[in-house]
Amino acid sequence: EAQVTQNPRYLITVTGKKLTVTCSQNMNHEYMSWYRQDPGLGLRQIYYSMNVEVTDKGDVPEGYKVSRKEKRNFPLILESPSPNQTSLYFCASTLSGPNNSPLHFGNGTRLTVT
């Protein structure tokens, strides 16, 4: 089944403890992206990647890192999480970029930083 898989679904952590949220897609998509969703703010783009080893900042990249060493995986790294990064995170992918084709979303990761 074609899908975007995020793990974990739920994560509670403490301020400053490094964490990684994984994202994997099995559709051979070139483009992958991370969003965070907060009440009243919609989805805001954190980082995106147009291909292996090619990443770029979205609208809210501060406090996050990403890597794209393989086409299928696009992990989101929080080196030193803070409470303002408590949010619902979504990974998404598409074949060649959002200008040409729709995004496929994962089911989300709900992160709480205390």
Partner 1 sequence: SQQGEEDPQALSIQEGENATMNCSYKTSINNLQWYRQNSGRGLVHLILIRSNEREKHSGRLRVTLDTSKKSSSLLITASRAADTASYFCAAGGTSYGKLTFGQGTILTVHP
Give the residue, chosen from 42, 53, 62, 114, that forms a contact with partner 1 under the rule CB under 8 A: 42
43-69 as b/e: b if 16+ CB within 10 A: bebbbbbeeeeebeebebbeebebebe
| By CB under 8 A, residue 10 contacts partner 1 | no
| Residue where the block lists tokens 């205390």 | 114
Give the residue, chosen from 29, 34, 48, 74, that forms a contact with partner 1 under the rule CB under 8 A: 48
Q: Where on the chain is the footprint of partner 1 (CB under 8 A)? A: 4, 31, 33, 35, 40-45, 48, 50, 56, 58-59, 88, 90, 92, 97-99, 101-108, 110
